[in-house]
């Protein structure tokens, strides 16, 4: 587990008219990656967290396509996004990322706590302790670590929206995914509780993405996961919804 994020790109700079700065965790693949690319395509600045140095470089290259004049010579503007190799389970790493973000002068307007994992289909008593811990540490403690270090920055700015990615299984239940269900029920409860503590100008929302054809869904549904929409088809509607959240949505449990 890394002790500090390896920030690959800095020099945050506004792109489109009135761009927002959006921090997205868990962007190495699936929903996170599709959402990041959609936001960048719309001209917003993204601060991206993922766990893979190789995928950091790959995503950085893809984001370059949405940087004005990125392919031109020395006249090209600096790369405007942050891409960080970071494990949200590490509180010290998240703390260091928050420090770097403050130093960049760009506190996020929106945070999307997307990083998540799921257990292999199994009866609860047959799920290894290490696997249970991985689900809880990523899906619950990862969100807690991000909020712990970034909420004070948003409170100081008196503005900010936090979107905690939940699940339909955070509002219902299913067999053989008890650790995942438990983690997403925790996300719902944590969100509603923190919502009652926030000062004016801030909001926190629990957002279920719906049923999307991701690697996580394939682990549960097998080949039938292909019957559902792809992350790339999901991202435009999700981005629009997230960008339009306001303080009136504080404490809500919503679905894309």
Residues with catalytic function? 180
Torsion of CA 105, 40, 233, 54, to 10 degrees: -80
At 70, list the tokens: 């990125």
Strand order in the sheet with 202-208: 6-7, 82-85, 45-50, 21-25, 110-113, 160-165, 202-208, 253-255
- Output the CA torsion sign for 239, 192, 203, 110: negative
Q: Which residues pair with 25 in a beta bridge?
A: 49
């Amino acid at each position: 587990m890394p002790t500090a994020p390896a920030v690959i790109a800095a020099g945050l700079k506004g792109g489109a008219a009135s761009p927002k700065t959006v921090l997205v965790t868990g962007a190495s693949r699936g929903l996170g990656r599709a959402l990041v690319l959609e936001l960048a395509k719309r001209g917003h600045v993204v601060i991206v967290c993922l766990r893979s140095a190789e995928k950091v470089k790959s995503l950085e290259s893809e984001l370059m396509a949405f940087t004005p004049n990125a392919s031109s010579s020395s006249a090209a503007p600096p790369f405007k996004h942050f891409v960080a190799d970071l494990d949200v389970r590490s509180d010290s790493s998240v703390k260091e990322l928050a420090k770097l973000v403050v130093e960049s002068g760009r506190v996020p307007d929106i945070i999307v706590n997307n990083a998540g994992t799921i257990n292999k289909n199994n009866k609860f008593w047959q799920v290894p302790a290490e696997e249970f811990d991985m689900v809880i540490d990523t899906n619950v403690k990862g969100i807690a670590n991000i909020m712990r270090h970034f909420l004070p920055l948003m409170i100081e700015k008196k503005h900010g929206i936090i979107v905690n990615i939940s699940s339909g299984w955070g509002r219902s239940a299913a067999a053989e995914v008890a650790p995942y269900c438990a983690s997403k029920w925790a996300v719902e409860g944590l969100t509603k509780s923190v919502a009652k503590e926030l000062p004016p100008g801030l909001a926190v929302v629990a957002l279920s993405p719906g049923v999307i054809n991701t690697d996580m869904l394939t682990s549960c549904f097998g080949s039938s996961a292909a019957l559902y929409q792809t992350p790339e088809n999901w991202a435009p509607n999700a981005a629009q919804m997230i960008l339009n959240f306001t303080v009136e949505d504080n404490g809500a449990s919503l679905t894309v």
